[in-house]
Structure 1
Amino acid sequence: MGRNEELSRRDLLKGLGGAAGATLLAPSAMAFHQKGLTTKPDVPLAVEPFKLGDVTLLDGPFLEARKRGERYLLSLDSDRMLHTFRVNAGLQPKAAVYGGWESVATWADIHCQGHTLGHYLSGCALMYGATGDSQFKQRCDYIVAELRACQIAGKTGLLTAFPEGNSLMDAVLTGKKYSGVPWYTLHKVYAGLRDASVYTGNPMALTVLVSYADWAVTATEPLSDVEFQKMLREEHGGMNEVMADLYQMTGDVRYLDLAKRFCHQAILEPLARQVDRLDGLHANTQIPKVIGFNRIYSQTGQKELYVASAYFWQTVVTTRSFVNGNHGDVEHFFPVTDFARHVFSAKASETCCDYNMLKLTRMLFQLAPTAAYADFYERALYNDILASQDPDTGMVTYYQGNRPGYMKLYCTPVDSFWCCTGTGMENHAKYNDSIYFKGPGALYVNLFIPSVVTWARGVTLTQTTQFPEQAGTKLQWKTAKPIELTVKLRHPYWCRTATVRINGKVAVESKLPSSYMELKRVWRDGDVLEVDLPMELKAVPLPGSPQIVAFVYGPIVLAGDLGSEGIAPGADLNVNERLYGEVLKEPYAAPVLKGDPAALLRQATPADEPLSFHLPATGSASSVRLSPYYKIAHRRYVTYWKLA
């Protein structure tokens, strides 16, 4: 990582006063800017997100990706996802069950049946919030009504799609042997109901959610603290987060108490002491726990929860991440000294991990709105989330491996309902949720994405840009009357100098990467800000291995585009993408780059498309074309090069 990108522990935790904490700024509110809540957080927000509907995406890669996501969501059949929920409630199913982890016959012991419905409910709720398209609200309303019917028929409030029915949770709660991750699966349904309530305003969604949560309160009450913590050794998603959310939505302290019980002390305690014990742990099991720590902090002001979440972020982002912002190998954290042994795996960068890291980043930004959080958000958004979607079909990746000459594999539409398929339903629905933030008298511009944000009635700011193909952006005010406001424009970490012009005149020349350029003035209708953000081609070394490098241009990872050699024409690459490393196993000789990074950069020549370059190579090719990784699909690629 670049020097300016790294957050020192001292800077990140400035003002905390060590593990005990001191001056803390704000909570980690998630989606609740959308609707009013019953309770007021103990810790006030430093900055707030805009409602999804207050930001409109304009033409560009993110709008295109969202449209693909819309089409996929509308292609799915709610009744197929509801199949086993109805069976377990004693009701007749209305359609056959889907495949993948939803298939009882094939995946009876994984115990993820039903997770897809939760993700789908969240995805449709987010799409409705972002677009206002009534089709997505209708989907949400239908699923909520069906789940309520299941609750009434089942009489306990519990909702599951496990093949054993609701009896599986009895085994979980009594310490008997079981397989899979039941609490993880239930969490997805809890979260879907929360999002349906928040983004669509459906009152029945809250009714179903409260009944569902009341079951959890009653069912877990007999467990001692020791028994509860033993139960948390298995993956349980973000149960602490969603219970804290429900406390804020209802004011019922029982849910906050349960949220605290769902905090896994074996993870919380070392993080609160700023000790990294992540080696060997399943990565995406831990991130939702940390999101929950942050969420409970906002309700209680317990400083160790904030310290733990901020330290976790700093540790993962600055010491454990690949150039694309993701991390891990075969879903697990590995020792930071072992990067060279893991970098060329086909099973690196599980997409779910960045889904959750972006949630955590967004929450932490609201606590302490520093440019470093926005820098990481941009890096992971382009190089992992946007890159995870098939531009032809809208399907998504599970892993995004670094094996030289490998290629992205995508899920199938109805038989690959893995975890990353589920988070993929949400990823492409919320691109407009972190472009802008608002503080007291201030508007933060974090991302350079074509969009329109509504500050107040009759006051909008339109951002037009072709970034990253254009090294800058333009913002124009439309307002019926003058408005005094401070605009805070991010000077990103990858840009040495940045220049802002207002109505054609230079207003700011910044030489402080990873900072905000502040422009306080009275803005009038038609005022225009133009921002120049020069980009450079750079080599980024792998942590601890200077001879293994990736290439970036500005924030964009450039991968070697190796074409489709050895791939049969018309080959279906929408397959079981969890088989990364099991398919395309035939030997493939990728080109070789020689020399030191600085010498290679001097030999780079622009290609015929924006953001693309040629580098001299040896071995299987005499040159290599570097192209934006997020654009490469159905072709072999190289992200990291071991320099000869």
Structure 2
Amino acid sequence: MLRKIHRFPDRDVTLLPGSEYADAQDAGAAYVLSLDPERLLAPYRQESGVSGEAKPYPNWESMGMGGHIGGHYLSALAGYWGITEGLEFLERAERMTRGLLECQTAGKNGYVGGIPQSRELFAELANGDIRAQSFDLNGSWVPLYNLHKLFAGLIDCWTAFAPQNSEQGDADLEMRRTPVMPDVVSRAQAVSERAKAIVLNLAHWWCELFDRVSDEAFQRMLTCEFGGMNESFAQLYELTGKQRYLEEAKRFTDAVFFDPLADGKDELTGFHANTQIPKVLGYERIAEIEDDSRYSNAVATFWNSVTGRRSVSIGAHSVAEHFHAVDDFGEMMSSRQGVETCNSYNMSKLAERLFMQTGESRYLDFYERVLENHLVSTIGVHEKGFVYFTPMRPQHYRVYSSAQECFWCCVGSGLENHARYGRLIYAYEDRQNDDAQYGENELSVNLFMDSQLLWRSQGMTVVQRYAPRQGQCNEGMLSFTSEYAGEHLITVHIRRPWWCQKTEYAFEGCEGAVTMGTESHAEHDGYQVAKHTGPVRYDTVRLQWQGKGAARVIVRHCVAVSFEPLPDGSAWASVLRGPKVMAFRGDDMDLDGLVSDSSRAGHIASGPMRPMSGLPVISGSGEEVVAPQSRSDGTVDVRAVQRDLLAGAMKNRVLRLVPFSSIEASRYSVYLPWAKNGDVQSVMQNLQEIDAAESSEELLICDEVRCGEQQSEVDHQYQGEHDEQGHQGQIRYRKALSSGHFSYMLRDWERRGDSIRVRWMAGSGSVADADSERVGNEYKLFINDNLMRRTERVKENGVTVDRYAIERGNVGRGEEMASRIRIEAVDAATPLFISVAVMKSEA
């Protein structure tokens, strides 16, 4: 039987100072407050013709995605208002909503947005002139994705600043941290009403405009990333009851992506990952509203694939933003472009919604994993920035955004992420078909974080403290303090986490008993011991005491140290201590671009990659690998062997692993080579082969664009006409159609490049014969409009490689040290291009 779970209001849950979650929350708030609303409004004012003195921010905000951060910013203000009710967030929300309303009023038709040349764009789309690729719609960079951010931000402000989330009754005053004054409540209500008016006018504009577009043309438009437009319209239906919005939500069902999922087929390999997750969030809402099995099947297929087959130990997934094959995580372990923050942000939202709808522990298990290992680590508490990519490549590092220079998608999700830690720490359950009184006298403790809950229905304050203790023990205390005298009888359902071998309970100031949910129950040193052997995932604790004093429950977890291989079973392992993924901290040398500038590719950790063969290798598993220790810092010691680089011999050593989420501005290894059966020599041989393959090519690349890969093409200023992108399995490509062309800007900062390398596959009508001078559909290659002559053609593992000799340093021109390289079709469509690179002869 499904259980419907309810969250407590955000304002009633507080993170206590001193924890990594409170530190991350505070750092996120400071970042939000460092941004200037006037500069965020500038793209909207430019498009609406409203005058303003502030200039737009640089980077993505001035590179074709103007206004996308403004939408995220609204959501962040709503989130931080919800947990703090701080005036600084209200004041910024007032400025943003007033500015947006001014722009919408000036536009006169309900539209408002920062998308460059948006009026011309939407006129073309409304007339059925639709030229869509995965990130390009009629020459505009993902405009519907951009628009969705504004929809989402306005809906968040509408609901978060609404009177029911700000007003208070007399009974609340005693329990409130800082009472909200009536004038502040009325100001918050005004923000809510403005946001509501803006988003409903925007939704009306959209529906009126696109009602005239045929379903076939609308489906073509969905080829281009559109964020979670379906989710926003589903939310508008929930808020207004207007059927028109639900129909519009369903109209955003992208058949190419949706139909296989609804049929139970995992065909995700090759897709741009975060394009898809917001769609699934929309499917989940539609499934809930309509009880539609095809939508719920699509959600289940997607969830099972991503969490069960495609995710690494920190709960994250994708390489260079794309889903790779489930049976090959090689690229995951070698790429500097690892898992993406936006993906985990959206997957955490999906996990939360599925848990609240079903009460199933698997959703909460994943939520805990991705929140406590990936998301909390994506803000630099000391570096003061957000992370885009988290490489799984051993001994690489991450890059942090600069608040006034970097406006990536992961900055946008980063603004929102760190106001969300308290959402599922506590909950209560609907046991009477939605007729249950709020909170009743039963409380669920889902996550173990230093926090405080105002349990208003019981007139109680709940305080939780939790920390590692010696060896493999964690200990926490739950304290219940009542505002009222008399007898108290409450029930607390304390989650039995998957990572815990047994739980011990002790009670102070009350009578307490573990009465349900344990297969084995005993007494030991004053503790009631619940051994974990069955499927029940909560221990039920009943407490009884008198008066206003505090009742305390001491919770002691015996945590497991576990080894998790990659999902493909390859010879890599991640070590976990309880829920926390452990990592081997490296040095802080050569962290090139640690704090990013506004350059297109500044979010990528471009510093040197360390050789694999120098890594320590874990040999064996379980108790034979974990070295005993008595520290109370949550670290783990494991035994490993490592090659002595001077002597060449293998030596034993003990590695101290620390929680990955604690590592900042340093190289790290989440995964280490693993000789599970003791065959260290074989593992080392494989690492040496990886090094040899990388050194022969990687070190010779000056710059490379991966054709058909969204962010790589955006970073290299893709332009094209009469061309298309696609993928065969996990290989992405771009081809020019007859009379078509496409081009990129490639750089050569050192001016050492002396050739262009082009890699391609045979496509429809092509003949993959590397010995032929004319291979099926030929192409022309230009550098800055100069036609180049091919000097070499070879075939490597089914891929044809063409080389064009150039004058040394010829590509590195101008301030950007770059040249535009263009590929044109000759008579018919070109082959399928995989990559174009500027190469040098010597490392």
TM bucket by the smaller chain? 0.7 to 0.9
For residue 314 of structure 2, what is the aligned residue in structure 1?
324
Matches within 5 A, 1:497-516: 497-503=502-508, 506-507=527-528, 509-512=530-533, 515-516=536-537
Tell me how far 1:156 sits from its aligned partner: 1.3
1:462 aligns with 2:453: no
CA distance in structure 1 between the aligned counterparts of 2:288 and 2:490, rounded to whole angstroms: 27
Q: Which of 180, 203, 207 matches 1:213?
A: 203
Alignment of 1:625 with 2:652, yes or no, is no
CA-CA distance at 1:455 after TM superposition: 2.4
User: Which gives a bigger RCO, structure 1 or 2 (Cα 8 Å, sep 6+)?
Assistant: 1
In the other structure, the counterpart of 1:555 is: 579
> Is 1:584 matched with 2:610?
no
Q: Is the 8 A contact 1:499 1:533 kept in 2?
A: yes
After TM superposition, the structure 1 stretch with the greater mean CA deviation from structure 2, 475-484 or 248-257, is: 475-484
- 1:386 aligned to 2:391? no
Identity score, percent: 31
Higher mean C-alpha displacement, 190-199 vs 535-544: 535-544
2:55 to 88, 91, 96: 96
Per-residue deviation at 1:299?
1.9
- Partner secondary structure for residue 625 of structure 2: helix
Change (3 A) 1:604 1:578: farther
| Per-residue deviation, residues 385-431 of structure 1 (Å, max 9, x unmatched) | 01111121331110100122211111111221011000000001121
Return closer, same or farther for 1:608/1:126 CA change in 2, 3 Å cut-off. Answer: closer
Aligned pair partner of 2:78 in 115, 120, 125? 125
C-alpha distance in 1 between matches for 2:600 and 2:211: 40
Q: Given the alignment, which residue of 47, 51, 55 partners 2:9?
A: 51
1:530 is aligned, of 538, 550, 554, to 554
The structure with the greater share of residues assigned to helix is 1
Aligned position for 2:480: 477
- Inter-CA distance 144–309: structure 2 relative to 1 (3 Å threshold): same
Cα distance in 1 for residues equivalent to 2:600 and 2:354: 32
Inter-partner Cα distance in structure 1 for 2:601 and 2:496: 38
CA 1:572/1:274 → structure 2, altered by over 3 Å: closer, same or farther? closer
- Write the deviation string for residues 109-128 of structure 1: whole angstroms up to 9, x where unpaired: xxx22110000110011000
Q: Is the 8 A contact 2:39 2:55 kept in 1?
A: yes
- The unaligned stretches of length 5 or more in structure 2 are 132-137, 163-191, 431-439, 513-525, 646-650, 675-682, 684-843
Alignment of 1:561-580 (within 5 A): 561-567=585-591, 572-575=594-597, 578-579=601-602
Tell whether 2:123 aligns with 1:176.
no
2:453 match: 453
8 Å contact kept, 2:636–2:656: yes
* CA deviation profile, 1:58-110 (whole Å, cap 9, x unmatched): 1211111111111111111001011020111111123011011101xxx23xx
Please report how far the alpha carbon of residue 599 of structure 1 lies from its aligned counterpart in structure 2 after TM superposition: 7.2
Q: How far 1:49 moved relative to its partner? A: 1.1
Cα deviations across residues 489-525 of structure 1 (Å, max 9, x unaligned)? 1111111222333447645614147743242646445
CA 625–519 in structure 1, closer or farther in 2 if over 3 Å, else same: closer
Deviates more, 1:246-255 or 1:262-271: 262-271
* Residue matched to 1:4: none
Distance 1:251 1:135 in 2: 33
TM-score (norm 2): 0.67
Cross-structure match for 1:258: 248
Contact preservation (8 Å) 1:65, 1:389: yes
| 1:640 lines up with 2:671 in the alignment | yes
Query: Displacement, 1:630?
Result: 0.6
- Give the superposition deviation at 1:378: 1.0
- Classify 1:628/1:248 alpha carbon distance in 2 versus 1 (closer, same or farther; 3 Å): same
Change in CA separation of 1:549 and 1:595 when aligned onto 2, cut-off 3 Å: same
* Contact 1:83–1:96 (CA under 8 A) maintained in structure 2: yes
Q: 1:524-582 CA deviation, whole Å, 9 max, x = no partner? A: 452222222112322211123252111111111111111223458xx853446955666
The answer to whether the 8 Å contact 2:284/2:296 transfers is yes
Q: Is the 8 A contact 2:591 2:605 kept in 1?
A: no
DSSP 3-state at the match of 2:500: coil
Determine if the alignment matches structure 1 residue 370 to structure 2 residue 360. yes
Amino acid corresponding to residue 67 of structure 1 in structure 2: D
Q: Of the two, which has the highest radius of gyration?
A: 2
Please tell me whether the aligned partners of residues 494 and 513 of structure 1 are also in contact (alpha carbons under 8 angstroms): no
In terms of fraction of residues, the more strand-rich structure is 2
Shift in CA distance, 581/142, structure 1 to aligned 2, threshold 3 Å = closer
Cα distance in structure 1, aligned partners of 2:359 and 2:466: 24
Cα drift, residue 325 of structure 1: 0.3
- 1:378-417 equivalences under 5 Å are 378-417=368-407
1:432 Cα shift? 0.9
What's the CA shift string for 1:42-62, capped at 9, x where partnerless?
xxxx11111100111112111
From the superposition, tell whether residues 175 and 625 of structure 1 become closer, same or farther in structure 2 (CA, over 3 Å).
Answer: farther
The 2-side partners of 1:593 and 1:449 are apart by 33
Equivalent in the alignment of 1:490:
495
Q: Letter of the 2:317 partner, please give it.
A: H
- Quick check: 1:544 aligned with 2:568? yes
**Alpha-carbon distance in structure 1 between the residues aligned to 2:641 and 2:265:** 43
8 Å contact 1:497–1:513 — kept in the other structure? no
Matching residue's letter, 1:511? H
Q: Give the structure 2 partner of residue 3 of structure 1.
A: none
- Preserved contact between residue 490 and residue 514 of structure 1 (Cα < 8 Å): no
Root-mean-square deviation (CA), in Å?
2.4
Q: Does 1:163 align with 2:116?
A: yes
- 586-595 vs 321-330, greater mean Cα deviation: 586-595
SS at match of 2:389: coil
> Who is 1:41 aligned against?
none
Specify the alignment match of 1:611 in structure 2. 635
Trace 1:434-445 onto structure 2 (pairs within 5 A): 434-440=424-430, 441=440, 442-445=442-445
Amino acid at match of 1:573: V
Q: Specify the code of the residue in structure 2 equivalent to 1:198.
A: T
User: Does the 8 Å CA contact 1:287/1:353 hold for their aligned counterparts?
Assistant: yes
C-alpha separation between the residues in 1 aligned to 2:154 and 2:644? 53
Q: Quick check: 1:198 aligned with 2:159? A: yes
Farther off after superposition, 588-597 or 409-418: 588-597
Q: Where do 5+ consecutive residues of structure 1 fail to align?
A: 1-22, 27-45
1:601 corresponds to 2:622: no
Residue equivalent to 2:820? none
Q: Look up the equivalent residue of 1:70 and give its one-letter code.
A: A
Count, aligned residues: 594
Distance 1:577 1:554, change over 3 A: farther
TM-score, scaled to structure 1: 0.87
After superposition, give the CA deviation of every residue in 1:436-478 in whole Å (9 maximum; x if it has no partner).
1111344221110111112225123221222599613211222
Q: Aligned ranges for residues 415-430 of structure 1 at < 5 Å?
A: 415-430=405-420
Are 1:271 and 1:312, in contact at CA under 8 Å, matched by a contact in 2? yes
Amino acid at match of 1:307: N
Q: Matches of 2:255 and 2:404 in 1, distance apart?
A: 38
- Secondary structure at the counterpart of residue 537 of structure 2: strand
Q: 3-state DSSP class of the match of 2:329?
A: helix
Deviates most, 238-247 or 512-521? 512-521
Deviation at 1:608, TM superposition (A): 8.6
- 422-431 vs 340-349, which moves further: 340-349
Deviates most, 160-169 or 596-605: 596-605
Q: Match for 1:67 among 17, 26, 30?
A: 26
